[in-house]
Amino acid sequence: MDVRERRRVIAVGEARTNRIRRSRRPEQPDSGPGRDRVVPGLKVASVLATTVLILLPAGTAHNLSLLGGHLAVTWSELVTPLLVAHIALMPARSPANIRLSALSAILGLLAVPAVLSPSLSSALAAFFNFAFGVIAGFAIGYVWTLVPSDRLNSVDIGVLVSSTIISIQVFAAISGKANDAIHVSAATDLGGSNYLAGILAVLALAAYGRLRVVGAPVVAYGLIVIPVAAIVSTLSRGGLVALAVGACVVLWQDTSHTTWVVPRRMALVAILFVASYGLARISAIRGQGIDLNVSTRYALFRLAWNGFLSSPLTGQGWATFRDVTRDSIGEPITFAHNLLLSFLQIGGILAVPLLVIIVRWTILAAKHRPEMLPAIAAGIALAMTDPLLEGFVGGLVMWIALYPTSTSGRPGIRALVNYQRDLGASGGSESLGAGVTRAPSRRPWPQNS
């Protein structure tokens, strides 16, 4: 075969390979360095999304009067309308529009219990905080799936900066406190210790997933140590369980080194023992046995379930749980400390679509965005014993992680492993047709032709 014929065979093989690659990926263009040319306005959207994240630790900006009550508006909530308006002016993408329509319908359903609530001002304030968290999380998650994914982007930086600042605030709040006062003192303008622990767990594990995707150097993972240390320092049992669940998911889904399967499975058992020991130590330091905590949670669960049974269609409404708990256990508590029972108590059957969306998007994350699955698992684990998605910041960070990535066509870690495995079917080389092969690309993601 002469040189000209060999070049022709190679060209034909490359064209065939490019067609196969395109057929294996969704029609939407993958994220990459040229993505801003594909989606006009993406740079501005990413700056606004990053701004919302960085402003999270700033807390409340203003208290608005609302029907005789007040609504605390955070700095992040002030920027959120700008982000949403800018995204609305960007070129429409039908999958995102469908998801936004579904979430809008769900928010409309959950607005009904707020309007019907006997305490209208408190109910509207609680609903608006929840709704803003959903909208902001959806918007940032949407932008996050569009920006380049093969390197650290501005949204990644926003996640890291926000988690670091919140951690520093936690350290400052507990500085100099006695052991039995640390858990109560670990509070900021965003919320109490358990709520902060859930926020930091989701942010830390989401950042860890992104660092794995971009192949960051080992020293970069030191940024994850800061929020993890802050979670432990809050003495939050729910936060420790959330970290343990997230770590177990990380070890279970890691398929990069097949020879380490048995050690990884053994590490899962070790995590369970460490978490059990940690729970015992936290109880000893706080001077509060876990039995009291469990009995209190059980009482809240029972009250929430009875509230749902008393009004199964529309629930009891937003912020009505305070009156129920004040009369039953002598302390006003806003939410039921359980994701399922809390929303059933608030909205009854009207809240079921929201729970279905959470389950559905978690399944999609496991398939298409596995780097976010540890963060989602940690958040849901904490949400089963403490409020998280009901608030603005907790809901925001969870919906960022939950947002499905199928809109961008960006593969996750497992998809990358499968892709590299396909390329390595012939001794680690890529077939170009006519028996001609070449070494696979060293880039971490499949690239557009």
The pLDDT assigned to 148 comes to 85
CB atoms within 10 A of CB 63: 11
What Rg value do the Cα atoms of the chain yield, rounded?
24
List the structure tokens of 97.
Answer: 């529009």
CA pair distance 385, 212, nearest whole angstrom = 29
177 lies in some domain = yes
CA–CA separation, 288 and 199 (whole Å): 24
pTM: 0.82
How many domains, the chain? Answer: 1
Distance between CA atoms of residues 360 and 414, nearest Å: 19
CA dihedral 409, 414, 418, 423 (to 10 degrees): 80
Residue 3 burial by Cβ neighbours in a 10 Å radius (0-12, 13-18, 19+): exposed
Interatomic CA distance for residues 77 and 59, integer angstroms: 10
Q: What is the pLDDT of residue 85?
A: 92
Beta-carbon contacts of residue 391 (< 8 Å; ≥ 6 apart):
129, 130, 133, 191, 195
Confidence at residue 287, expressed as pLDDT on a 0 to 100 scale: 78
Tokens 């909205």 -> residue? 347
For residue 263, the enclosing domain spans 95-407
The answer to whether residue 159 is domain-embedded is yes
- Classify 64 as helix, strand or coil: strand
In this structure, what token pair is assigned to residue 273?
Answer: 């023992």
pLDDT value of residue 355: 96
Question: Does a structural domain hold residue 422?
Answer: no
Please answer whether residues 187 and 193 qualify as being in contact, where contact means their C-beta atoms are separated by less than 8 angstroms. Answer: yes
Q: Is 237 helix (H, G, I), strand (E, B) or coil?
A: helix
CA 226 → CA 110, 171, 212, 222, 352, distances in Å? 36, 10, 17, 7, 36
Helices marked H in 287-391: 290-310, 321-329, 339-347, 352-368, 373-383
Place of tokens 């150097």: 217
For residue 89, what pLDDT is reported?
Answer: 86
In a domain, residue 295? The reply is yes
Query: Does a structural domain hold residue 3?
Result: no
Q: How many CB atoms lie within 10 A of CB 47?
A: 15
Query: Is position 154 within any domain?
Result: yes
Virtual torsion, Cα 342, 297, 204, 189, nearest 10 deg: 80
Which candidate, 244, 231, 229, 278, places its Cα nearest to that of 374? 244
Residue labelled with tokens 């999958």? 95
- Give domain status of residue 167, yes or no: yes
User: Within a domain: residue 251?
Assistant: yes
35 C-beta neighbours (distance < 10 Å), count: 19
One pLDDT digit (tens) per residue for the chain, 449 residues: 566 676 666 666 666 666 655 554 444 443 443 444 457 889 999 999 999 999 999 999 988 887 767 888 999 999 999 999 999 888 766 667 778 888 889 999 999 999 998 888 899 999 999 999 999 999 999 999 888 888 899 999 999 999 999 999 999 999 989 888 899 999 999 999 999 999 999 999 999 999 998 988 889 999 999 999 999 999 999 999 999 999 999 988 865 555 566 777 788 889 989 999 999 899 888 877 677 778 889 999 999 999 999 999 999 999 999 999 998 888 899 999 999 999 999 999 999 999 999 999 999 888 888 899 999 999 999 999 999 999 999 999 999 999 875 433 444 444 444 434 444 443 444 333 333 343 443 334 333 33
Burial of 258 (0-12, 13-18, 19+ CB in 10 A): exposed
